[in-house]
Each structure stands twice: as structure tokens, then as C-alpha cells.
Amino acid sequence: MEEAFGYSVEVLKRLVSIPTVAPQGDHYEEAAELLARELESMGFEVAVERVPAEYQREKCRHASENPRFIVYGRRGEGGPALHFNGHYDVVPGGPGWTVTEPFKPVVKDGKLYGRGAIDMKGGIAAALGAFKALQLSGAWPQGLRLEAAFVPDEEIGGECGTGYLVNGMGVTPEYVILPEPSGLEKPWHGHRGILWMKVRVKGRTAHASTPWHGRNAFLLASAIALDLQQALAAMYAGRRSKYRIEPEESARPTVSLGGEAGVTGGGKTNQVPGEFYFTVDRRLIPEETVAQARGELVGVLTWLSVKHGAEVEAEEVISAEPAINEPGELYEALREAARQSGRVIGQPVVCPGGLDMWYYTVKGSKALAYGPRGELAHAPDEHIDLVELRFLVEAFARLPLTLAGALQRRT
């Protein structure tokens, strides 16, 4: 186990040093090649699939023109598949780092620092470390196929990552583990959905010295945004998910306005803005659908356009359905693997954010997300505690064996 853990740390350092920033994707191929080599070295049959350019243009509007690569590995024949999914793309490094630079990994005080150390190259390294432990021990599971999929673009919706893996390549495993930063106390068995929209409010441009000749789109958009917030808050007040979502506030639908906002095409101090935009971030509880949320937003905006006498347009930017599943034997096997590795885990809860899980659950896969603490995901000085990484390597190495044993007992 110690050799496998050391391998995991070294792989994580190499992964963090590759700046696989979404949506640019400048170094995706380099990361994909590294991951494919590691899987092949442990006896996996590996395919590196380039997402077709036509699919990328049609489905992945927020991706750059750089190619997208999916690494898919299989080991073993017959039986159901236990499939580990990890995304190798990361958010930009950003300012504010004090321990190291974002893509120069450093180990300090028992922690490995660098962008993606938690979200989620650390999870990928834990899975690879688990495979290494199985290889070193020779204890590969019987009656269970092992799979790994390492994908891009989760940070921008996943259409050119897990979306293409499932819908384009037809990969629909029976059991899925996503080593996302859930925290080690309990796994996630679902996640909230997401709908991003861009709202444009049109006025009339004029010179600022004669503002009566124009109609200020900024002021119109501000009034519409305030009314929209109030109308949606009233609409969502009576809704609460029956599922356990942590933190508790996430059990209700939420909306956030104005994460991005500005004068379309850029403004000037001496000009009355003729068009202003703002964004809407709507999070869905598992009982809702994207179509429902979209219809509600468009309906309220249509009413507000009449109320304020303004032309209003709404464009969908990103959407993903909520996910929920009852993982049954997968959870029981994970709980037993964690117990054997020295930790007791609680009942699954729903993730307040979004994941790639929904691509699998709509196809019938049983899925759990389980990984390190995630407080510093996307933040300066992102790091993973190496004690947690070692635990995950061991727990993930035991999981195929506990799941195979559970399936054999059922038959």
C-alpha cells in the first residue's frame, strides 16, 4: 500500500503540473497521453478517443477549438463493470496563491498544493493508486470488470467529456465512482441541476449630454433584475426537496443574478447604454427539470418585459439535469471498503453543486461521488491532505473486492 500511495503522489504532481484549464484546453492531449500510459502500464486495454470536431462545434459551445480527448480503459472480461470517472480539466489558477504557483505542485506540511489537487486530479491519482495497489498485490477482482474514464470539460458542463463518453461512445457501466471532493464523511448519491442564462435588456443609445434622447438599458435591466429576484423567490418559497442535501439551505431551489453583467459591446462614460446584460445561475433540486426551470424563467421575463415596456431576450448558456439514484450494493461495498481502511462513513447525501453523475444515472447506472474535502476547490492554495489521499487509495483498492464479494453473495 505504501508503494501504491507513493506512486499516487508522484502521478498527482505530474498531473497538477499540466495546466489543463477549461475552456481553452491547450494541454488536454498531454494529460490524456500521460493517463493512457499509466493505465496501460497496469494492464488496462486503453483507447484515447478524440471527440469529433462536428460534435464539438454542435454540442460544446463553450469549448475552444482545441481538440478534446477521452481516455477510456478496461481490465477484465465479463461480469458487471465498476467504473471510475475523473475529469482532468481545471479552472484557471487565478491570483492570491501564497504557498506556490498554481501549476507548480509543492508538498508542504503533509499537503500537496496546486490547482486541481482536490478538484479533481487528486481523485484521479487516488484511482490510479488503487489500481497500482491491485497490480502489486495481484488481487484483481473476480467476476467484476474494472474501467476508468478520464475526461475533459466537466468545469463547463461535460458535453465534450462524460457526455460524449456515454452518448457518443456508448459507455454505460453498471456501477460508477466519481472521486469528486465530497469529503470523507459521506458520499454523494446525487446532485442539484443547473441552468445558466444570459438576459439582454434593450433600451436606446444616446449621448450622455442629452440623455432624454435615449433609454438607459442599465436602469431598465436593474429594475427587471430586482423584480425577477423577488418573483422567483416567491415562486420557490414553497419548494423543498425530500432528499437530504447538505448544506440544508440547498434543499430549496436557488437563483443568483449578475455573476456577469455589463454593457453589450462595451460602454463609455459619456454614452447612455443601449443594451445591458446580466446572467442568471439557477440551481435545481432533484424533483425539478431543466425544462421546468427554463419555462419559469422565460415566463417571468416575458411578464416583466411587458411591465417595463422593454425588449428582453434570454439565451441559455449551460444546463444539466439534477441526478438522484439509490446506489444500494455500491454504497454498501464502499462503506465496507472504508471500514476496512479505518473509517466509518455515513448515509449518502445530495451534492449542492453539479457533477457529471447525471450522464450516467439517466442511463441506469448506480453511481456515487466520494473524495477528499473540497473547501478549497477553485480557490488559491488549493491542496489535498496526503492522509486523505492515502485513505482513498486504500479504500478504492478494496472497493472492487468488496463489491465483487457482495455481488457473488447475491447470486
CA atoms of 368 and 187, how far apart (whole Å): 6
Is the alpha carbon torsion for 28, 180, 336, 361 positive or negative? negative
- Angstrom distances, CA of residue 410 to CA of 79, 119, 203, 253, 406: 13, 35, 66, 39, 6
- Angstrom distances, CA of residue 66 to CA of 20, 61, 88, 336, 347: 12, 12, 15, 42, 41
CA atoms of 282 and 153, how far apart (whole Å): 20
Q: Is the peptide bond before 23 cis (omega within 30 degrees of 0)?
A: yes
**Catalytic amino acids?**
89, 154
Cβ 76 vs Cβ 140: under 8 Å: yes
Kindly give, in sequence order, each residue whose CB lies less than 8 Å from that of residue 328, ignoring residues fewer than 6 positions away: 366
CA atoms of 377 and 90, how far apart (whole Å): 10
Beta-strand pair 69-75/145-151: antiparallel
For the chain, how long is the longest CA-to-CA vector? 81
